[in-house]
Amino acid sequence: MPPKPKINKQMILDASFEIIREQGHEMISARTIAEKLGCSTQPVMYHFKTIEEIREEAYKLADQYHTGYIMPKGDKGYDPLLELGLNYVRFGYEEKNLFRFLFQTNSFAGLNVAALMSDPGLGEMLSMVSSEVGCTEDEAGDAFFSLFVCAHGIASLIANNSMEYEEAIFRKVLENSYTSLTKRGQNQ
């Protein structure tokens, strides 16, 4: 009989991420993780003291996945902020369980506005947008925040099955929101 594969911490986290993605964060337990890995619960609890510790680490994996998913790919003809907003809405549609885990669980409170706006990756994007659109970085930041709030609202409705996903409509809503903000910035 071949030796059983050794279960390591990363395998447990990857299995947890997949369970959350497929079934929702509520399904995370030592038993479901062990079933996914084809082992007993002993290796799961050997590497982690609590299920909450697994959730916290799985949250980090989900956050990294989300960031990679929504970042603009630099498609020609797309404004990076608009593409970011559309990707965010699409994430709410295609990855409902991950979206709810990241943004709608009480255990993992989101960033406040100041922390969100001071993210280094966002600063680079706002600088690029301000030069492309011809507005200040503060105006680009205002446009981003308004677009983010709009995209988050749409994605939340979709992720909770309260609204159908209609990309053309959401694209128009985000374009209208973004265009009005950037035009307003240019006219001031």
Residues 54 and 87 in one domain: no
pLDDT bin (cut points 50, 70, 90) of residue 4 is: low
Residues 7 and 76 in one domain: no
Cα–Cα distance for residue pair 106/181, rounded to 1 Å: 32
**Coil/strand/helix, residue 161:** coil
Are 176 and 161 in contact, with CB atoms under 8 Å apart? Answer: no
Residues 1 and 57 in one domain: yes
What mean pLDDT do residues 27-52 have?
A: 95
Residues 59 and 76 in one domain: no
Instruction: Report helix angle 51-70 to 96-103, nearest 10.
Output: 110
CATH number at residue 58: 1.10.357.10
Residues 101 and 22 in one domain: no
- The residue with tokens 């970085």 is 137
**What are the strands, taking DSSP E only, across 12-145?**
none
Domain that holds residue 86: 71-188
Q: Tens of pLDDT along 157-178?
A: 999 988 899 989 998 998 887 7
Percent of the chain at pLDDT > 70 equals: 82
Residues 89 and 161 in one domain: yes
**Coil/strand/helix, residue 129:** helix
User: Which carries the bigger pLDDT value, residue 83 or residue 178?
Assistant: 83
Residues 39 and 78 in one domain: no
